[in-house]
Amino acid sequence: MINRGYTVPATGEEVPFEAVETGKLRYGNGNPESEAYDSLTDVHVDAAGNRIEGRIPWILLNIADPSTKRRIATDWSEGLSTVAFDYLTVSVGTFVPDAARDGRAADIGGSTNLTDHLPERDGSVVRPAEYTWDPWDRPAYEERLKQSYHILRDQYRSADLTDQA
């Protein structure tokens, strides 16, 4: 939710409710070395390598602090408190999108509209797998220059930065 919607008391102006769909994942290529690279990619399917890569922000998983395995409590009576957890349950399903239905799953005439799924399915129910990790104090990282670095460097080198006043 971006804006709850309200009425400005002084003018009576109605400001409408605004929302952004945070759960809609963006398909693309998250490999910085690819010509098709998109830094905002959430999901990439590598059919040749038989892989699906997903990058989901921790907060969309209701995780407040992944380094200590703390999630936001679902009992809202305590406010935004956190609770410990041991693992996440994870499953993935794919479907044929229906352009006439704004990309929602097309009816493929089966017991579900899933075309593929991981890890396994029991009838129409995908059985999730457990995923866990070791807590950390310092995350592993790898530095790299962003694509625009050389463009900005060249602009700054050629700019006249003398005082124009």
Domains held by the chain: number: 1
Q: What's the pLDDT tens digit per position in 1-18?
A: 567 788 999 999 998 888
Q: How far apart are CA 99 and CA 56, in angstroms?
A: 25
Amino acid 77: pLDDT: 67
Strand-pair partners of 29: 37
Residue 35 covered by a domain: yes
The CA-atom distances, in angstroms, between 120 and each of 54, 66, 124, 128 are: 18, 26, 10, 7
Dihedrals φ, ψ of 15, to 5°?
-100, 120
Work out the mean pLDDT of the chain and round it to a whole number.
83
**pLDDT score for 39:** 85
**Domain of 13?**
9-56
Query: Does the residue 38 lie in any domain?
Result: yes
13 within some domain: yes
The per-residue DSSP string of 44-85 comes to EEETTTTEEEE---GGGGTEEEGGGTEEE-S-GGG-S-EEE-
Does 160 fall in a domain? no
The pLDDT tens digits of the residues spanning 111-151 come to: 777 777 788 777 777 888 999 999 999 988 888 888 789 99
pTM equals 0.61
Residue 51 covered by a domain: yes
Residue 68: what pLDDT? 96
pLDDT at 65: 94
